Structure 1
Amino acid sequence: MRTFKHITLIVLAALLWTAFIGYGFINGFLLKPITSKKTSEAFIEATKEKIKEEFVGNVAMTLLENGKVSEEFFYSVDQPVDKNTVFPVASISKWVTSFGILKLVAQGRLDLDKPVDIYLTRWHLPESEFDNKKVTIRKLLSHSSGLIDDLGYEGFTVNETVQTLEESLTKAADAPYSNGVAKVGYEPGTGYMYSGAAYTLLQLVIEEVTGKTFQEYMTEAVFEPLEMNNSTFVRSEKPQLQFAKIYKDDGTTRQFNTFTALAAASLNTSTSDLSKFLLANVSRNSVLSEELITKMSTPETFINKIGVYGLGPHLYSQNDENSVIIGHDGSGNNAINTAARIDLKSKSGIIILETGNHNLASSIADEWIFWKAGIGDYVVMQRNKPYVLTLLVIGYVSILLPSIFIIRKKNKKRSIHIKK
């Protein structure tokens, strides 16, 4: 009977230890950051080790602290890159586009909550079972418009015909992983669903309202005021820029693609320019007021009650009260991956632009969030798995060995007592 009680206590202790480890793993307090040191230099050194583990063609990285550039790192297997080297940044385009849209809102030329259709003449949303009048600028910016295109644009190679904006909205030809149709497929405003077509539609809105091309407007409204001189949505208009080589994951290179969906996927920029853009989110600038920046970074769409999107940027703080981390990632086109984050409270941020690896930039940015704010996600959890499993085993051994010793000792005493 006593042995049974001892075994029961051992099992209970093991279960409690397992529960503690699991809780600590999920909630992050047992996870270790990529480096225990709190300097930008230490973070860069830790990421260098990560870069050594897998292929990447080129990387440009900038860290911001207290509203200033604190550290930079550049790497390439061939052609050198620096802070002015221009990379295609894919969906970071959306965040930059939101600045242009919100400037029109500030000028009273757009209303966040009026039907987007009132601004359109060249193209209109196709009829569906849902009310297209509920599709607004606010919902398009926050991926809650009801559009179900799930578009990730690939762009067009030099041998392909580039679609017009209207043709792309009707059915995007450079959408290999979705049907590419901009159509309302669920009740607008009832949930989050990422939509590339939402930003292509916003691109059309800008052209309709301003009477300018999207490139012209964004240059005048955003790039020039922020002195982003190494940025363009149309590469052919700034051929003098220092463009990075685009590496694929097998180490070969390819040419730049051309996009119809400029607002959603076509921005080309450098870490130097993106630093200016990120700092515009935390300092006085001539594009958007502090009030509009706050509105832009306020949650508009949620997943499980966690705010995931504002009016343009993704939200990364997961309802954490000590930070307001916003930003965006970009990926695709074998193999571009980019990431930008800024904490509006601490004015710290990170920018990683790379080609040749599908997720290196995003994973480093996720590591930065945990290192800086203690907010862990899948990437951090995966890296910590061996460490946490080691803790689990050590706990089991620490419970089991003393328990076996105590049980054997008590059994030995009982045996001696019976013999007597």
Structure 2
Amino acid sequence: MKLLKRIVWIGLPVLAWTCFVGLGFVQGFLLRAITFSDTTEDFIDASREILGKEQVGSFAMVLIKEGKVSGSYFFSTDKPVNENTSFPVASISKWVTSFGVMKLVEEGKIDLDSPIDGYLSRWNLPESDYDNSKVSVRRLLSHSSGLVDDLGYEGFAPGEPVQTIEESLTKAADSPYAEGVARVGYAPGSQYMYSGAGYTILQLLIEEISGQSFQEYMTKVVFEPLGMGNSTFVLSEKPEIDLAQVYQADGTLGKPRTFTALAAASLFTSTADLSKFLIANLTDNPVLRRETILQMSKPETFINKIGVYGLGPHLYSQNDAQSTIIGHDGSGGTIVINTAARVNLQSNNGIIALTMGNPSVASEIADEWLFWEAGIADFVVMQRNIPFLIKLLVVGYLVILAVSISIISKVKSES
């Protein structure tokens, strides 16, 4: 009986401590940010430590505080980079494209909920087992259209023939690991499924409605009004751009890819230009009304009841009412790209991280910023904290054991 009591005296506190630390891990209240300081300078210093452990070709980062650029950091192993150096930013292209689409909505030229096929003449959705009339601009913007292409565009190597939009939507040649066919494979509006082809359809929509090329339209409607002079979807049309060196998967230098899917994957831009774009999401701007941006930032698609996508931007707040963090990440395949841009519409703080030659570090640092900024932890932050929490568990167990032995010894001596 005495042995059983002693086991209970030790076991119950151990169980309680284990549950407390486990809950702190899941809920995030025991996790540590990469810096305890709230200053831009200290976050940049902590980010540099992360970069020091990674293989990186070039890196550019900007932090925004209360709607203004508050700090920056640039690194390169070879050709120097600065705030005006343009990087290929992959899927961040989609967020920027959404500004162009929503401008057409504001002007009354398209309706968010009308069937997309009603606007198109050069290509239409192939017949499916579902109601194609339910595929709308809203659902294409929010990745809930029912498309199952699973794109992922890799682009075309220099000198390689580039498909037309119509050819790419019929069967994308630059999607070696996906079906690459723009077809409806589940009921539109029923679930979230990321679709690169959805944004290629929106690219075609812009061309058909505006009567201009996608590049020309986006330049006149988005880039020029926002002063984004280092940005383009078609690199050959802006040869004066100072481009960061491109790295291939084997670590050697390469050349930029050419895309049919401009809207989904082909934006080249700099931290200076992306800063202007992020700040445009925070204030009145010459492209979109403030109420339109707020509409774009509301959840349209969900995973496990958590809003994950609005009308263009990805949502990072995990339904936290205290923050509205939107943005987008991007990554490459043949060309090693990783990019991230996020902004908190409530605090007016943001981050841009662009890297060449590393497949994940920009998103990792942006995830660290998300926890530092709003206490929202994801896999990156949780994984980094595992060694600390294991130490915390062990220290707690040792304290519990020491206290329990002391109590047992005291009780035994008194008896």
TM, length-normalised to structure 2: 0.98
Match of 1:8 in 2: 8
Amino acid at match of 2:164: T
Task: Map 1:283-302 to 2 at 5 A.
Answer: 283-302=283-302
Match of 2:338 in 1: 337
Shift of residue 173, structure 1, vs aligned partner: 0.7
* 1:359-403 alpha-carbon deviations (Å, 9 max, x no partner): 000000000010011111100001111101111111111111221
Distance 2:364 2:249 in 1: 16
Distance 1:16 1:169 in 2: 56
Amino acid at match of 2:368: E
Distance 2:385 2:249 in 1: 25
Amino acid at match of 2:232: T
Distance 1:275 1:405 in 2: 60
Match of 2:40 in 1: 40
What percentage of aligned pairs have identical amino acids?
A: 63
Match of 1:417 in 2: none
| Contact 1:248–1:355, Cα closer than 8 Å, also in 2 | no
Shift of residue 309, structure 1, vs aligned partner: 0.3
Distance 1:86 1:358 in 2: 18
Shift of residue 413, structure 1, vs aligned partner: 5.5
| Contact 1:59–1:354, Cα closer than 8 Å, also in 2 | yes
* 1:326-347 alpha-carbon deviations (Å, 9 max, x no partner): 0000001341000000111111
Shift of residue 304, structure 1, vs aligned partner: 1.0
Whether 1:141 and 2:141 are equivalent positions in the alignment is yes
Distance 2:135 2:366 in 1: 32
* 1:122-150 alpha-carbon deviations (Å, 9 max, x no partner): 10111110000000000000000000111
Match of 1:58 in 2: 58
Match of 1:175 in 2: 175
Match of 1:207 in 2: 207
Q: For 2:73, what is the secondary structure of its paired residue?
A: strand
Amino acid at match of 2:295: K
Shift of residue 249, structure 1, vs aligned partner: 5.1
Match of 2:389 in 1: 388
Task: Map 1:11-410 to 2 at 5 A.
Answer: 11-248=11-248, 250-333=250-333, 334-410=335-411
Q: For 1:357, what is the secondary structure of its paired residue?
A: coil
| Contact 1:250–1:356, Cα closer than 8 Å, also in 2 | no
| Contact 2:93–2:265, Cα closer than 8 Å, also in 1 | yes
Unaligned 5+ segments in structure 1 are 415-420
Stretch of structure 1 that moved more, 336-345 or 396-405? 396-405
* 1:173-204 alpha-carbon deviations (Å, 9 max, x no partner): 11122110111011000110000000000000
Distance 1:397 1:178 in 2: 52
Amino acid at match of 2:395: I
Shift of residue 84, structure 1, vs aligned partner: 0.4
Q: For 2:150, what is the secondary structure of its paired residue?
A: coil
**Across the two proteins, how many residue pairs are aligned to each other?**
414
Distance 2:321 2:106 in 1: 28
| Contact 1:3–1:407, Cα closer than 8 Å, also in 2 | no
Stretch of structure 1 that moved more, 329-338 or 193-202? 329-338
Distance 2:414 2:57 in 1: 69
Amino acid at match of 1:290: R
Q: For 1:263, what is the secondary structure of its paired residue?
A: helix
Q: Please tell me the root mean square deviation across aligned C-alpha atoms, in Å.
A: 1.1
Distance 1:406 1:43 in 2: 45
* 1:66-92 alpha-carbon deviations (Å, 9 max, x no partner): 110000100000000000001000000
Alpha-carbon distance change, 175 to 261 in structure 1, aligned in 2, over 3 angstroms: same
Shift of residue 246, structure 1, vs aligned partner: 1.0
Q: For 2:257, what is the secondary structure of its paired residue?
A: coil
Shift of residue 100, structure 1, vs aligned partner: 0.1
Stretch of structure 1 that moved more, 130-139 or 392-401? 392-401
Distance 1:388 1:249 in 2: 35
Amino acid at match of 2:372: W
| Contact 2:9–2:404, Cα closer than 8 Å, also in 1 | no
Unaligned 5+ segments in structure 2 are none
When Rg is computed on C-alpha atoms for both structures, the one with the higher figure is 1
Shift of residue 247, structure 1, vs aligned partner: 2.1
Amino acid at match of 1:282: L
| Contact 2:173–2:180, Cα closer than 8 Å, also in 1 | yes
Shift of residue 13, structure 1, vs aligned partner: 1.3
Distance 1:355 1:296 in 2: 29
Match of 1:418 in 2: none
Distance 2:193 2:275 in 1: 29
Distance 1:262 1:104 in 2: 18
Q: For 2:402, what is the secondary structure of its paired residue?
A: helix
Distance 1:84 1:293 in 2: 26
Shift of residue 158, structure 1, vs aligned partner: 1.2
| Contact 1:55–1:249, Cα closer than 8 Å, also in 2 | no
Q: For 1:224, what is the secondary structure of its paired residue?
A: helix
Amino acid at match of 2:375: G
Amino acid at match of 1:68: K
Shift of residue 24, structure 1, vs aligned partner: 0.4
Shift of residue 2, structure 1, vs aligned partner: 2.0
Distance 1:182 1:307 in 2: 25
| Contact 2:62–2:271, Cα closer than 8 Å, also in 1 | yes
Distance 1:300 1:351 in 2: 24
